[in-house]
Amino acid sequence: MTPRRVEPGEDHAALLQLIQTSFAYMEGRIDPPSSMHQLSLENIAKHAEQNEIWVIEQNDTPIACIFLTVKPDTLYLGKLAVNESSRNKGLARALVTLAENRARDLGKSKLELESRVELVENHAAFAAMGFDIVGETAHPGYQNATSYTLQKPLKGTLGA
């Protein structure tokens, strides 16, 4: 299954549903609630227009996705989602590899993402893909860290 880039004018309903169902396990685990609750079809179309969204599909239905945002020296990974029945098949790793290649194409020296403090299994999965925790942030109104910033330096790029 080869990832394909999502276009702004597509119907994004199935993509929104993939993200909502894939992030449902976080309900009641993370505080504050996921930003996924503010995601809309319009937000997805705007992101596809201004940045990049990649999907892996099965029978024309998205089963995995990743949102990429170009920052000054990094490529930011967001909304990495894999539907439950497709997990542990290397799809997240395939999308992260795609992100590495896109970052190199764009001249970026590292990948970056954020993961909620409570999601320790995600920290382990990203560590296995070469990411390190490099910082922490607190959402507005919170005293303690609510998210970790993780980065992966890219070999073969300037600055890496």
Tell me, what's the pLDDT at 1? 82
pLDDT digits (tens, 9 = 90+) for 61-79: 999 999 999 999 899 999 9
Q: Which is it for the CA torsion 31, 140, 113, 58, positive or negative?
A: positive
Residue 138 lies in a domain: yes
Please choose, from the candidates 25, 2, 5, 26, the residue with its C-alpha nearest in 3D space to the C-alpha of residue 15: 5
Residue 22 lies in a domain: yes
Tell me, what's the pLDDT at 156? 67
Residue 31 lies in a domain: yes
Domain carrying residue 11? 4-153
Residue 147 lies in a domain: yes
pLDDT digits (tens, 9 = 90+) for 46-56: 999 999 999 99
Percent of the chain topping pLDDT 90: 83
pLDDT digits (tens, 9 = 90+) for 2-30: 999 999 899 999 999 999 999 988 888 88
Residue 41 lies in a domain: yes
Tell me, what's the pLDDT at 7? 93
- HEC string of the chain equals CCCEECCCCCCCHHHHHHHHHHCHHHCCCCCCCCHHHHCCHHHHHHHHHHCEEEEEEECCEEEEEEEEEECCCEEEEEEEEECHHHCCCCHHHHHHHHHHHHHHHCCCCEEEEEEECCCHHHHHHHHHCCCEEEEEECCCCCCCCCEEEEEEECCCCCCC
Specify the number of domains making up the chain: 1
Tell me, what's the pLDDT at 28? 85
Residue 42 lies in a domain: yes
Per-residue confidence at 127, pLDDT binned at 50, 70, 90?
very high
Residue 159 lies in a domain: no
Percent of the chain topping pLDDT 70: 97
Residue 71 lies in a domain: yes
Tell me, what's the pLDDT at 158? 53
Under 8 Å between Cβ of 55 and 19? no
* CATH number for 75: 3.40.630.30
